[in-house]
Structure 1
Amino acid sequence: MNPVTKHLGRVVDLGHPWRGVGPFIFVVHHRDTYPKGEANLGPDPSLLKGRNIGMDMSNDLGTGWNMYHGKTVPGFPAHPHRGFETVSVCMEGYVDHADSTGAGARYGAGDTQWVTTGRGVSHSEMFPLVHKDKGNTFELYQVWLNLPSAKKLSPPEFWMLWKEKTPIVRRENNYGVATVRVMAGKFDNVEPAPPPVNSYAADPESDVAIWLIEMEPRSSIKLPACNLDTTQRLLYVHQPGAVVDISGTAVSDNNGFLQEAPKERLTITNGPKPARILVLQGVDIGEPVAQHGPFVMNTQKELEEGFAEYRRTQFGGWPWPSDQPIYPATDPRFAKHGDGKTELPEGRDAIAKPFVYTKA
């Protein structure tokens, strides 16, 4: 008699943007194969012809890259957020960050930036094409994580988890290697740095985890069980042609596996092509969600109050001379916080002066 297979979850469509789970609102995954950069760290202006500049979002020209809301440099010029968190993992290329607190950063090549927007912050996220002699591949995951009502009006802050400090779990079998990049939540006995102090992930009862798994062909890995019966977990399978087996269920590229037995461990075995799996888990906050664009509150009234405050105060104003500032191509990865503290991945002091491109 064959043993009875436990029902551990089901395949779900991820949609676009990718659907959220538990306290997570949604995920966007950007992958752009940008050309070489010009002096202004944007593409050759001739390559912008025919694009819907300011709203170039869908690779309509089939070039493999978008300008998004950027005019000369790809990215997202200054825009407000309130009431939630963004966790941005930049795997390739760079993000130039600037915000209304006066803070700025350049991160990439495996770094993670965690922004608790709290009572409100405006920021820009530009994607400078720093390489002038070759293409500029860019890849970014941005996860939106909700905040409970008690933290929605907390002071805004951002926190860096540099690539050099990001824990990597490695599992190897006879066929290949699987690695796990641990941004939040303990993976077996491996813990990342603590999240921002006002983050929902700072609450031990949230059981929040954010892991990015990279799997060579035929490799395998076993995930820890969730810590709580109420934890919700979704595995986002992607990479062209990827097919993985998750505890007996086949899941292909751009599909998810919604775990329905949170206290069980899942075994993931990859097929013949490389695969990536983003894992998000957490306990649902259990409060009403009212969202309009980049504001996430509990009620419609709170949304209206938030937009009114933004119109009145601009969340502290915009201290930069452009709504899409970038830094010189030669600047290192760095972070300068609103309190004036500066940091580099190596721990040395950083001084970075914003460079603003103005079209001649």
Structure 2
Amino acid sequence: MPTFKKIAAILNPAAPHMVGDGFRVHNFFPSGYKIKMDPFYLLDYNAKIEFSPTNKLRGVGVHPHRGFETVTIAYQGAVAHHDSAGNSGVIYPGDVQWMTAASGILHKEYHEENFSKKGGTFQMVQLWVNLPAKYKMSTPKYQALANNNIAKHKLPNNGGLIEVIAGEYLGTKGSASTFTPIELYTLKLKTGTKVILTSPANYNTALVVIEGSISVNDTEQAATNQMVHFTNDGSEIAIEAKEDSVVLFLSGEPINEPIAQYGPFLMNKPEELQQAIEDYNTGKFGYLEE
């Protein structure tokens, strides 16, 4: 008989810091809280913030990555992306950009030009998803997931919908391809809607309340900008929206391999980090104009 995953903690966002001049983020892990979330290595949450109009493109200039994937989910605002593999695009509210850095890539991320000129509300999530050792040096790739191409599961009684970015919810298969089993959804719930989410007991699992407030497992309340972290037991999570709410659900099978991390490189051994630095310094990540 299925049992609820126990709530390990309800976490408030850590103090914000700037990434470049375009992203004011609260890091939930690994620096904000030391929680077990493998295969997810990092979660930066750009809580809702107002940006004033400017002709300058705010963001992060050219920088490298190796050994993992970046997943950027837009809730409000717009971000433009360019990388050294020739990929580029803009994500708007509801869109997802899934970049597999793998063997190495250069990229840059900026507020989209029209958004910068007009200013407005900005709200994003970025995840770093680790890659198993056997895939760390695979060919980089890019998945541009426009919202109208993201699989959606409509909830009964006009209760809202679940956007299945990766994984599967009640037969609705996610739009992104992944290297390891991952469930990644955005839940858009009307007041009073109840849903049951499932994932295996050994998966590392969390919720982030993007908007609104929810009850979890009929025992705890979580409000806007809070994260709910679960223990590794049980297979079900019960959510009820106390008001119209948007919730990010992430759950994944742990890779359980050693991690060596330095800046934008996420490898298994220190010597692999040294190799990554050498390869970057000798131009093996390609070229990207600032």
TM-score by length of 1: 0.68
Q: What secondary structure sits across from 1:303 in the alignment? A: helix
Letter in 1 for 2:238: T
Report the equivalent of 1:191. 173
> In the superposition, relative to structure 1, how do residues 10 and 35 fare at CA in structure 2: closer, same or farther (>3 Å)?
same
User: Is the counterpart of residue 84 in structure 1 residue 84 in structure 2?
Assistant: no
1:1-360 alignment to 2 at 5 Å?
8-13=6-11, 15=14, 16-19=26-29, 21-30=37-46, 31-36=48-53, 43=54, 72-130=56-114, 134-173=118-157, 177-195=159-177, 201-202=178-179, 206-223=180-197, 225-226=198-199, 228-239=200-211, 242-253=212-223, 254-260=225-231, 263-271=234-242, 273-313=243-283, 315-318=285-288, 320=289, 323=290
Question: Contact 2:70–2:100 at 8 Å: present in 1 too?
Answer: yes
> In the superposition, relative to structure 1, how do residues 8 and 78 fare at CA in structure 2: closer, same or farther (>3 Å)?
same
Cα distance in 2 for residues equivalent to 1:256 and 1:7? 15
Cα distance in 2 for residues equivalent to 1:233 and 1:79? 29
Question: Contact 2:130–2:266 at 8 Å: present in 1 too?
Answer: yes
Cα distance in 1 for residues equivalent to 2:153 and 2:98? 21
Letter in 1 for 2:39: P
Give, in angstroms, the shift of residue 116 of structure 1. 0.6
Letter in 2 for 1:160: A
Cα distance in 1 for residues equivalent to 2:106 and 2:226? 33
> In the superposition, relative to structure 1, how do residues 93 and 257 fare at CA in structure 2: closer, same or farther (>3 Å)?
closer
Give, in angstroms, the shift of residue 263 of structure 1. 4.9
Question: Contact 1:80–1:294 at 8 Å: present in 2 too?
Answer: yes
Q: Percent identity?
A: 26
Give, in angstroms, the shift of residue 94 of structure 1. 2.0
> In the superposition, relative to structure 1, how do residues 94 and 314 fare at CA in structure 2: closer, same or farther (>3 Å)?
farther
> In the superposition, relative to structure 1, how do residues 307 and 257 fare at CA in structure 2: closer, same or farther (>3 Å)?
same
Cα distance in 2 for residues equivalent to 1:231 and 1:134? 42
Give, in angstroms, the shift of residue 243 of structure 1. 3.3
Compare CA radii of gyration and give the structure with the larger one: 1
Q: Which has the higher strand share?
A: 2
Q: What secondary structure sits across from 2:169 in the alignment? A: coil
Question: Contact 1:233–1:262 at 8 Å: present in 2 too?
Answer: no
Give, in angstroms, the shift of residue 184 of structure 1. 0.2
Cα distance in 2 for residues equivalent to 1:193 and 1:6? 27
Q: What secondary structure sits across from 2:114 in the alignment? A: coil
Greater displacement, 124-133 / 229-238 = 124-133
Letter in 2 for 1:182: V
Letter in 2 for 1:29: Y
Q: Deviations over 1:119-169 (max 9, x none)?
A: 110101111241588543322221110001111111111111111111122
Q: Deviations over 1:223-275 (max 9, x none)?
A: 1x21x442221112243xx432111222323333333365532221122x333
Letter in 1 for 2:75: M
TM-score by length of 2: 0.83
Cα distance in 2 for residues equivalent to 1:220 and 1:92? 25
Cα distance in 1 for residues equivalent to 2:282 and 2:117? 45
Aligned residues, how many? 268
Cα distance in 1 for residues equivalent to 2:172 and 2:121? 30
Report the equivalent of 1:338. none
* Structure 1 gaps, min length 5: 37-42, 45-71, 196-200, 324-360
> In the superposition, relative to structure 1, how do residues 266 and 285 fare at CA in structure 2: closer, same or farther (>3 Å)?
same
